[in-house]
Amino acid sequence: MGTCHPTTAIDNHFLEALDIGTNAQWIEEKIGILERVTTLPLDYIKATRNRDPRMAKEAAGATATDLGVAAAEKALSQAGVKASDIGMVIVNCCSPQQTVPGEAVRVAEGLGIHAEAYDVYTACPAFALHIDFLRNFDEAKLPEFVLCVSTATLTHHVNYNDRSDGAIWGDGAAAWVVSARNVGRLEVLDSMFAADPTRCAAVVVDSYGFFHQDGRAVRDFSVRQTVRLVKAIEESYPIDWNRDIFIGHQANRTMLEQITNNREIPPTNHWHNVTYLGNQAGAGAPASLSMHWDDMTPGQHIVVAVVGAGLSWGSIVMRVLE
Amino acid sequence: MFLLGVATASPSVVVSGDEPRQCAVRNSPVAARAGVRSKRLSLPREYIESTGNGDLFEGWKAATATPTSLGVQAAKSVLEQVGVTIGQVGLVVGDTGTQYQTCPSEGQRIAGEFGVKTASFDLVGGIGAVPHFFSVVSRWSSARVPEYLLYVSTNTPTQQVDYRNDAESAGLFGDASVALVLSKQRPAAGRSARVAYAAFRAEPVRRLPIVIERTVKVHSAALLSDDELKHFIASELELLKRHQPEILQKASFIAPQLYAGAAHEILGAHGVSSRQVVSGVEDIGFSLGSSHGVALAQVWNTLEAGEVVVLMHCGDGQCGSVVLETV
């Protein structure tokens, strides 16, 4: 696995200084995020508040593709796999610079990969979708190595005059290499993906405009659905929260704490990165796992439960191998 | 997986090859190679002629259809055609390159319009979306797929054409959607087809002939030359003949739709008769990934058991063919 995050941090005091009716204490108490990272220059946000998101592209120091390529390079390096060994690239991106060709084509091109490349897309629960999607294949018909990438630059779509949206989003990418034939450190035991599209208008990113959401409804859904996913896994697998690890959708820390409190998951066994990176859409959960790669111990279960736009949700149960 | 039905939808505005008037649509070599005779537009003709569609957001306001509304229309038609209700569908897969919103996915927007709580996501295969989709599902394990799957590829590229200044795009593009219903079970009655062969490979050089970033652009330098198109088709036919020696005589051919007109002549030189070649762009215009499906829909109702349809694709980094065989 690999990740890439920009180095420019937006702290809560910066948002407070924008004078948009929020303050650092309120943000910390409400969503538990202290910093989020962005590919936009702080001077640009301060001067424009990104009132015209079309200008974000000109101002940004990197695109979602750049982040995805950098994360993928790290994943390939960690897996000991060359770009030429990759037989399929699938990518999830909710902030593409271009809608044609697909993001996967740009990422593959950036990596010099000459292989099947296409987008498999649902926004935030992409980690579960990609794993579940690949499990649909007859294993013999999958190439030896598949590269999965989830990348997002949602700060380009934030209206920084909105006190809530500006506090949530960060930019980032995560990548992971999957094989049906070569044993790695993690074995996928189970996965699922589902959706309730009747509520798809609850989270929207306009192609050349802003992000919008029905915040309260999405928050309630996220907590309830994640708890349901975790409970279902607890009923099917011998999960011991003193040994096993939970990773949720990195929407905000207070929401994650509601979930871990409900399932009595100790803070040491809850891996997250939202506090200092913000909500990186579909990249957040896999990035959390990647950032804790060296902390995994053999025999542990890694339980991923992710939710988001669509509305959609999914889960993965993995086991750490020797 | 068995294909049970195919249906399309396109806007009602029809313009001839060199229309809309007062716009830069004449002498478009790209449209000529594609063999576009007329186009379907989701923008009113008067709107294009008076504004040239210079402002994407104004174009979207003026449009008579969205990718989602066209997709829903095609989906309703195909469900009716195959006698399956949306409630029986266990997975909705979407594809578009002209979305108004990058989130949620097109599959979720379409499923949402039906009011169903069904798993849905997008599988975006670019200008070869339909053959690529067949190549993907042909590799799926039937144990993992639902009883019925709805796939919709829907595109409204004309809404992103700069009609005043871009003759190539103005002459080439049209709007359409295609919907397919697949099942893991062979139906007891009615027409169905299975993927008998699917072989895609990486293009030696990744070509991105169409790019959409607010406006749609044709990158002429990334198009296949006539020689390259001839070479591609000849190579594919050799591979297909190994799969089925009589394929040149018995199959219907859906060539790479961006070059459908030119490919028609090349196929003819290989002994494929004109009635075997099907175009999804001639009367609709090039609708990105939907075009192969538009062509497939034209022959679907005429197919007899044992007949085959070949879908060829080259672009966005992949090339290859899919063979559908009716059962």
Model pLDDT, residue B167: 87
Q: How many other CB atoms are found less than 10 A from the CB of residue B122? A: 28
Tally: H helices and E strands in chain A: 12, 13
Chain B CB contacts of A206 under 8 Å are 100-102
Cα–Cα dist A256/A270, whole Å: 9
User: Do the chains contact at A108 and B206, CB–CB below 8 Å?
Assistant: yes
CB B215 within 8 A of CB B166: yes
- Res. B22 pLDDT band, cuts 50 70 90: low
* A139 and A53 housed in the same domain: yes
Residue of B nearest to A193 (CA): B119
User: Do the chains contact at B123 and A135, CB–CB below 8 Å?
Assistant: no
Tell me which residues of chain B, numbers 297 to 316, contact chain A at a CB-CB cutoff of 8 Å.
316
* A173 and A29 housed in the same domain: yes
CB B114 within 8 A of CB B107: no
CB B314 within 8 A of CB B258: no
- Residue in B127, B137, B174 with CA at minimum distance from that of residue B28: B174
Each residue's pLDDT tens digit, A107-120: 999 999 999 999 99
Q: Is residue B25 over pLDDT 60?
A: no
Q: Is residue B24 over pLDDT 60?
A: no
User: Do the chains contact at A105 and B126, CB–CB below 8 Å?
Assistant: yes
Residue of B nearest to A95 (CA): B102
* A101 and A160 housed in the same domain: yes
Alpha-carbon Rg for chain A, nearest whole angstrom, is 19
- Residue in A47, A82, A86, A309 with CA at minimum distance from that of residue A199: A309
What phi and psi, each to the nearest 5 degrees, are found at residue A288?
-60, -45
Q: Which two tokens stand for residue B9?
A: 């939808």
Continuous segment of H or E residues that includes residue A75: helix A64-79
What is the ipTM, given to two decimal places?
0.95
What phi and psi, each to the nearest 5 degrees, are found at residue B177?
-135, 155
Query: Which residues pair with residue B140 across a beta bridge?
Result: A137
Residue of A nearest to B205 (CA): A114
Query: Which residues pair with residue B218 across a beta bridge?
Result: B210
What is the rounded (10 degree) CA torsion for A152, A175, A301, A299?
-160
Report CA torsion sign: A24, A26, A32, A36: negative
* Last residue in a domain, options A124, A154, A178: A178
Cα–Cα dist B100/A208, whole Å: 8
User: Do the chains contact at A309 and B109, CB–CB below 8 Å?
Assistant: no
* A68 and A33 housed in the same domain: yes
Model pLDDT, residue B324: 97
Q: Is residue B21 over pLDDT 70?
A: no
Chain A contact for B121 (CB, 8 A cutoff) = yes
Chain A contact for B118 (CB, 8 A cutoff) = yes
- Pairing verdict, β B215-218 and B119-124: unpaired
Query: Which residues pair with residue B279 across a beta bridge?
Result: none
Rounded-to-5 percentages of helix, strand, coil across chain B: 40, 30, 35
- Res. B203 pLDDT band, cuts 50 70 90: confident
Tell me how close the Cα of B127 comes to any Cα of chain A, in angstroms. Answer: 8
Burial B284-294 (b: 16+ CB within 10 A, else e): bbbbbbbbbbb
SS3 B149: strand
Tell me how close the Cα of B107 comes to any Cα of chain A, in angstroms. Answer: 9
Q: How many other CB atoms are found less than 10 A from the CB of residue B190? A: 10
Q: How many other CB atoms are found less than 10 A from the CB of residue B27? A: 11
Chain A contact for B30 (CB, 8 A cutoff) = no
* A19 and A103 housed in the same domain: yes
CB B19 within 8 A of CB B129: no
Each residue's pLDDT tens digit, B62-95: 999 999 999 999 999 999 999 999 999 999 999 9
Q: pLDDT tens for chain A, 322 residues: list them.
A: 999 999 999 999 999 999 888 899 999 999 999 999 999 999 999 999 999 998 998 999 999 999 999 999 999 999 999 999 999 999 999 999 999 999 999 999 999 999 999 999 998 999 999 999 999 999 999 999 999 999 999 999 999 988 778 899 999 999 999 999 999 999 999 999 999 999 999 999 999 889 998 988 899 999 999 999 999 999 999 999 999 999 999 999 999 999 999 999 999 999 999 999 999 999 999 999 999 999 999 999 999 999 999 999 999 999 999 8
Give the type of residue at A228: R
Cα–Cα dist B103/A211, whole Å: 9
Residue A285 sits in a domain whose CATH number is: 3.40.47.10
Model pLDDT, residue B67: 97
CB A240 within 8 A of CB A265: no
Chain A CB contacts of B97 under 8 Å are 99-102
Chain A contact for B145 (CB, 8 A cutoff) = yes
* A79 and A144 housed in the same domain: yes
For chain A, how many structural domains are there in total?
2
Chain A CB contacts of B120 under 8 Å are 195, 197, 310, 312
Model pLDDT, residue A275: 96
User: Do the chains contact at B100 and A105, CB–CB below 8 Å?
Assistant: no
Model pLDDT, residue B8: 98
Chain B CB contacts of A102 under 8 Å are 97, 124-126, 316
Q: How many residues does chain A have?
A: 322
Model pLDDT, residue B23: 63
Average pLDDT, chain B: 93
Chain A contact for B108 (CB, 8 A cutoff) = yes
Burial B88-99 (b: 16+ CB within 10 A, else e): bbebbbbbbbbb
Q: Which two tokens stand for residue A35?
A: 């910093």
Query: What percent of chain B stands above pLDDT 70?
Result: 97
Q: CB within 8 A of A294, min separation 6: which ones? A: none
Q: Is residue B27 over pLDDT 70?
A: no
Query: Which residues pair with residue B38 across a beta bridge?
Result: B16
Report CA torsion sign: B238, B240, B242, B245: negative
Which domains does chain B show, CATH number per domain?
Answer: 2-183 (3.40.47.10), 193-326 (3.40.47.10)
- Residue in A289, A280, A286 with CA at minimum distance from that of residue A152: A280
User: Do the chains contact at B212 and A98, CB–CB below 8 Å?
Assistant: yes
CB contacts < 8 A, A to B, total 171
Q: How far is residue A133 from each of residues A126, A193, B308, measured CA to CA in Å?
A: 10, 9, 29
Cα–Cα dist A12/A14, whole Å: 5
* A21 and A68 housed in the same domain: yes
* A64 and A112 housed in the same domain: yes
User: Do the chains contact at B317 and A105, CB–CB below 8 Å?
Assistant: yes
* A165 and A40 housed in the same domain: yes
Nearest to A98 among B96, B117, B211 (CB): B211
Model pLDDT, residue A216: 86
How far is Cα of residue B147 from the mean position of the Cα atoms in its chain?
24
Q: Which two tokens stand for residue A261?
A: 């409190």
Tell me which residues of chain B, numbers 269 to 288, contact chain A at a CB-CB cutoff of 8 Å.
288
* Last residue in a domain, options A157, A178, A199: A178
Model pLDDT, residue B297: 97
pTM: 0.96
Q: Which two tokens stand for residue B266?
A: 């090349």
Tell me how close the Cα of B44 comes to any Cα of chain A, in angstroms. Answer: 22
Domain that holds residue A111: 2-178
Tell me how close the Cα of A24 comes to any Cα of chain B, in angstroms. Answer: 29
Nearest to A120 among B92, B102, B123 (CB): B123
Cα–Cα dist A137/A160, whole Å: 42
Nearest to B103 among A54, A115, A309 (CB): A309
- Pairing verdict, β A312-320 and A301-308: antiparallel
Nearest to B125 among A114, A118, A141 (CB): A118
* Last residue in a domain, options A178, A213, A243: A178
* A259 and A136 housed in the same domain: no
User: Do the chains contact at B123 and A205, CB–CB below 8 Å?
Assistant: no
Alpha-carbon Rg for chain B, nearest whole angstrom, is 19
* A190 and A171 housed in the same domain: no
Q: Is residue B45 over pLDDT 60?
A: yes
* A132 and A255 housed in the same domain: no
Chain B CB contacts of A193 under 8 Å are 119, 121
Each residue's pLDDT tens digit, B146-197: 999 999 999 999 999 999 888 889 999 999 999 999 999 888 888 999 999 9
